[in-house]
Amino acid sequence: MNETLNTIYSRRAVRKYKDIPVSKKLIEQILDAGRMAPSAINKQPWKFYIISEKEQINILSGQIKKAAAKAILKSGVKRIFRAAKDYLHFSPKIDFLTEEDSIFHGAPLVIFITAPVNNEWAQLDIGMCSQNMMLAAKSLGIDSCPIGLGKFVEKTKAYPTLKIPSSDRVLISLIFGYGNENPAVHERIKNNAVFL
């Protein structure tokens, strides 16, 4: 298998990390890979907000957990499980309410990615950017996981510390670090291609 395909096939969503920081050099390489993603009309709408200080990550994680729990409760009792499974992408292995860091999973590096509020293609652009970053990280020996709940940072008291302008919104957060687990490969659906 060639190097690119090997990286794609070996990348996993990792939710346990060693207490080892990611170097600034590696962070820059990961960011540069994200910057190389395609974007609609080459607008490159992404901005990256990088946090590697453990205390700040823990504060944000705790506040995001509370904001997300509130949002789940507001969605109504009948929709809670559906929201948890389909919308918020919880892993069945994670006890959201009791795990010490059920948002960023002890990762030493969190990157929030934002885009302008009025950019209708931003979600696609940020998706491609994020995938580039996670694949680049894997090729450099760094594990990762996309954290959809990261967008609830906008509902926290700590949000102003990120200095994100009101013209932008958080679309996703990514966590990176040296993994402390080896998740199994999930079975892939193969009957979803229609040849015309």
How many CA atoms within 13 Å lie on the side-chain side of 49? 23
Residue 147 domain boundaries:
15-64+103-177
Instruction: Give the whole-angstrom CA distance, residue 165 versus residue 145.
Output: 25
Instruction: Say if 187 falls within a structural domain.
Output: no
Model confidence at 157: pLDDT above 50: yes
Number of folded domains in the chain? 1
Instruction: Give the whole-angstrom CA distance, residue 54 versus residue 107.
Output: 9
| pLDDT tens-place string over residues 117-155 | 999 999 999 999 999 999 999 999 999 999 999 999 999
Instruction: Say if 24 falls within a structural domain.
Output: yes
Model confidence at 192: pLDDT above 70: yes
The pLDDT value given to residue 71: 83
Instruction: Say if 136 falls within a structural domain.
Output: yes
Instruction: Give the whole-angstrom CA distance, residue 153 versus residue 60.
Output: 7
Mean of per-residue pLDDT scores for the chain: 90
Instruction: Say if 87 falls within a structural domain.
Output: no
Is the overall model pTM greater than 0.85, yes or no? yes
Instruction: Say if 154 falls within a structural domain.
Output: yes
Structure tokens at 158: 């700590």
The pLDDT value given to residue 49: 98
Give φ, ψ of 182 to 5 degrees.
-130, 85
Residue 39, domain CATH? 3.40.109.10
Instruction: Say if 94 falls within a structural domain.
Output: no
Instruction: Say if 150 falls within a structural domain.
Output: yes
Instruction: Say if 183 falls within a structural domain.
Output: no
